[in-house]
Structure 1
């Protein structure tokens, strides 16, 4: 009797211990999944606006103890971040992502959110097409990267040679091109939002307005793309990639993309407040200019898988022009991440 009682009690204690262990087992992974640090990175451009909002509002506080945003200022810094594993999620031009992938860098493109934010900005309000800029000096950011590539493809489609028919003055970034424009060292520049809106804002304010009379938002390169290539007037210009250890964490990718989509929608509805967050992080931008750029920019979260057809057409044009722009070939299916809704 006593032996049976002791056995029964031990059995109950064993079951209780097992239940406790099971509860602990469920609790530990949940804690272990939270990362100590998560790094988001991007340029001073529209694609980064949701990333900055995510950091400012703690949108990923359940994902990581510390979430940081790092700005890259030129393509060289971007490649250092990618090749050095210094970011987990990195905003970049779509062709740079394809180039890195085709050259063996482990990454996936998760979405396209920037569908073309390139404009010609000029002192001459009568210039309406790229052909009207023939023979003129143009400040051009990022030599052999996205703005320069798109300009070249459009110029060649018009039957012009970008190297011979224009006087291109290459500079490090759209913000550098903006500075040349507003200080009247050039009369025309190819800019990306929010640098376009910043230039227009600055030249209407004292004292810069005395030095630089009104500038005009001239040729919309997205409209030119649609017109010349007989397609929808938008470009799969930039999006978010995942790198390093985060590549194997599908749940993390889904959470980051969901937060990105939510932040993008919030910023579009609350442009001025979002602009204040962005201006705190990027010195050369003002809240008003960021708000203007959100109104002017075709921003929409589309998963990379859903954007594949448009990306393929875009990459094909680059392959025909210079295969090195996308790493010598079209990226295979492994390039297109599946995180996020279409």
Structure 2
């Protein structure tokens, strides 16, 4: 039932970018009390996310939009998962109820027999290539004969990039790909000037731009991989990178799930509004400076789309990427039972 070590490491690294800019004191996991207490349908909703901007931001304000007054949930506990082993343990030991996951990790666990359902796709693309200030915008062809750093081997950023290269008429023989285990390590190498090009997710991309500018180096957000995706597929400039999964026992309770879907939708809308209060709360959780948070939120493309409604987009993404490496999703595209329908 366990994932391969290689895919465990890569996905865990993808979810560990919070340390890139964290400068505040460690955030203490919080508990938000409601009105229902022990009489609620679920006494304690245990939410787990990585401590990253992209993964944790969508749950900002979760519980304050009516859920805790509905009688469905007595209180909300917000905590973090720190490794793929801990994530799998949380799910299989019934120690979590609502968990943020990279999209391929949720599929992989499900395909390995873990009782897990996709409640919603939430993060719809956050991958960019940083390069010279005079780079041609959104053109992968300019990378021919060049060297580029790419993080998380055999996981979403790496496989998306290789797929887009292939669809653009290039291969790893045309472009020298230098693999890095984490985005933080790659970002540091780029900022030091040891690389001309690097693929980075947000918020590492915005941090790299900021630090390069401070050092006097002229660089640019050269290539938006979401736009390249649109160019080569004919689809919208987005793809589902991360979402919210729930254990089967939670998924079976349609009344509870209706309330959770509603709360998630409102929480994501709150984050997208980027009010000063919301930015401050995200800063408290992640340690990412407020100016970076304001820049990054629009580029995360946050949109809570119920699992069943996102099924076609997710299945299309997985079908395409699995032509390069089917193991990263557990060998196959998940069947329809993985995707929860909206009970509202």
Instruction: Give the alignment's TM-score, normalised by structure 1.
Output: 0.78
Instruction: State the 1:61 CA deviation.
Output: 4.0
For the pair 1:90 / 2:99, whether they are aligned, the reply is: yes
Q: Which residue of 2 aligns with 1:11?
A: none
For the pair 1:40 / 2:48, whether they are aligned, the reply is: yes
* Number of positions where the alignment pairs a residue of Structure 1 with one of Structure 2: 305
Instruction: State the 1:71 CA deviation.
Output: 5.0
Q: Which residue of 2 aligns with 1:328?
A: 331
Structure with the higher fraction of residues in helix conformation: 1
Alpha carbons of structure 1 residues 259 and 125: separation in structure 2 relative to 1, 3 Å? farther
Q: Is the 8 A contact 2:148 2:175 kept in 1?
A: no
For the pair 1:119 / 2:128, whether they are aligned, the reply is: yes
Q: Which residue of 1 aligns with 2:119?
A: 110
Q: Which residue of 1 aligns with 2:176?
A: 166
Deviations 1:261-311 (A, max 9, x none): 11111122234432322222223x211111111133322121111111111
For the pair 1:131 / 2:141, whether they are aligned, the reply is: yes
Match of 1:269 among 265, 273, 276: 273
Name which one, 1 or 2, has greater alpha-carbon Rg: 1
Match of 1:177 among 178, 186, 194: 186
Measure, in 2, the Cα distance between the counterparts of 1:83 and 1:188.
40
Measure, in 2, the Cα distance between the counterparts of 1:53 and 1:125.
41
Kindly report which structure 2 residues correspond to 1:148-227, keeping only aligned pairs within 5 A, or say none.
Answer: 148-162=158-172, 165-172=175-182, 174-204=183-213, 209-210=214-215, 213-227=217-231
Question: Is there any run of 5+ residues in structure 2 with no aligned partner, and where?
Answer: 1-35
Question: Is there any run of 5+ residues in structure 1 with no aligned partner, and where?
Answer: 1-27
Alpha carbons of structure 1 residues 199 and 277: separation in structure 2 relative to 1, 3 Å? farther
Alpha carbons of structure 1 residues 163 and 84: separation in structure 2 relative to 1, 3 Å? farther
Measure, in 1, the Cα distance between the counterparts of 2:275 and 2:124.
18
Q: Is the 8 A contact 2:206 2:292 kept in 1?
A: yes
Instruction: State the 1:112 CA deviation.
Output: 1.2
Q: Which residue of 1 aligns with 2:24?
A: none
Instruction: Give the alignment's TM-score, normalised by structure 2.
Output: 0.78
Structure 1 vs Structure 2 CA RMSD:
2.8
Q: Is the 8 A contact 1:110 1:239 kept in 2?
A: yes
Instruction: State the 1:213 CA deviation.
Output: 1.7
Alpha carbons of structure 1 residues 42 and 338: separation in structure 2 relative to 1, 3 Å? farther
Q: Which residue of 1 aligns with 2:29?
A: none
Instruction: State the 1:97 CA deviation.
Output: 1.4
